[in-house]
Amino acid sequence: MDGTLVDSTTGVIAAWSTFAKTYPGLDVETILHSSHGVRTTDNLAKWCGITDPEVLKDEADRFERVIIESADNGITTLPGVRSIIDNLSPAKSKPSQRWTICTSATRVYATAALKAANIDAPDGFVTADDVDQGKPYPDPYLKGAAVCQVSATDCVVVEDAPAGVTSGLAAGSKVIGLLTTHSKEQMLKAAENAHEGYFYLVQDLSKVSMSLIDDGVEVTIRLE
């Protein structure tokens, strides 16, 4: 979601900077290079050393509130997103649902971020609260495919983070990588074991078009 559909970069930086005051020694620059696409709870456990489940939940809620409150100019859609969402919107609900969102954010944050960006959430979208193991494990995308009542091997995943690329490929899906938050080298490294035809890399979703067809979604990628 963040980095594929919406931009909340300034809010994320502000959140880590705020937490660095509570947890001295955090290297915000290092964290930003590797934390994107990973569940907030997993990041806080790793970088802040939080082990108590209740404290972890409370701190994750606080972290994501800071993102919402601190994002300069609000949380906005990224290039190419609006046309894709508009095209796919008729198939966002059951029983004819053909797409969903699989995010490492909590449901509270994801709902608020999508609303701020004026994106109608699809039915049953998958959040950090819905899986035992988040990205880079395949669980989020396996669950997302189940929501749409299809096999993950018949799905196309859109990802901007190495952890998400690994997750999508592990689920057996084809993956479109975006260069909105990570370098080309980082993204290619995450996909180094992908089978031929299973990974494509573009700048952002302005290079991708999606439209509904009788038996699914037609995806066109404009490679450079």
Dihedral sign computed on CA atoms, order 152, 125, 43, 190: positive
Question: Residue 73 pLDDT more than 80?
Answer: no
3-class secondary structure per residue, the chain: CECCCEECHHHHHHHHHHHHHHCCCCCHHHHHHHCCCCCHHHHHHHHHCCCCHHHHHHHHHHHHHHHHHHCCCCCEECCCHHHHHHHHHHHCCCCCCCCCCECCCCHHHHHHHHHHCCCCCCCCCECHHHCCCCCCCCHHHHHHHHHCCCCHHHCEEEECCHHHHHHHHHCCCEEEEECCCCCHHHHHHHCCCCCCCCEEEECCHHHEEEEEECCEEEEEECCC
Q: pLDDT-derived band of residue 32, with 50, 70 and 90 as boundaries?
A: confident
Q: Are 41 and 56 in contact (CB under 8 A)?
A: yes
Q: pLDDT-derived band of residue 5, with 50, 70 and 90 as boundaries?
A: very high
Q: Are 145 and 155 in contact (CB under 8 A)?
A: yes
Give the C-alpha separation, 2 to 87, whole Å.
20
Q: pLDDT-derived band of residue 37, with 50, 70 and 90 as boundaries?
A: confident
pLDDT of the residue at 81: 97
Give the C-alpha separation, 149 to 141, whole Å.
12
**Pairing mode of beta strands 199-202, 156-159:** unpaired
pLDDT of the residue at 48: 96
Does a cis peptide bond (omega within 30 degrees of 0) precede residue 136? yes
Question: Residue 54 pLDDT more than 80?
Answer: yes
Mean pLDDT of 110-129: 92
Percent of the chain predicted with pLDDT > 70:
99
pLDDT of the residue at 33: 81
Mean pLDDT of 44-72: 90
The mean pLDDT value of the chain amounts to 93
Say what the pTM is.
0.85
Percent of the chain predicted with pLDDT > 90:
75
Give pLDDT tens digits for 158-207: 999 999 999 999 999 999 999 999 999 999 999 999 999 999 999 999 99
pLDDT of the residue at 71: 67
**Of 7-11, 135-139, 198-202, which gets the smallest average pLDDT?**
7-11
- CB-CB neighbours of 14 under 10 Å: 17
Can you read off the two tokens belonging to residue 168? 């999508």
pLDDT of the residue at 154: 97
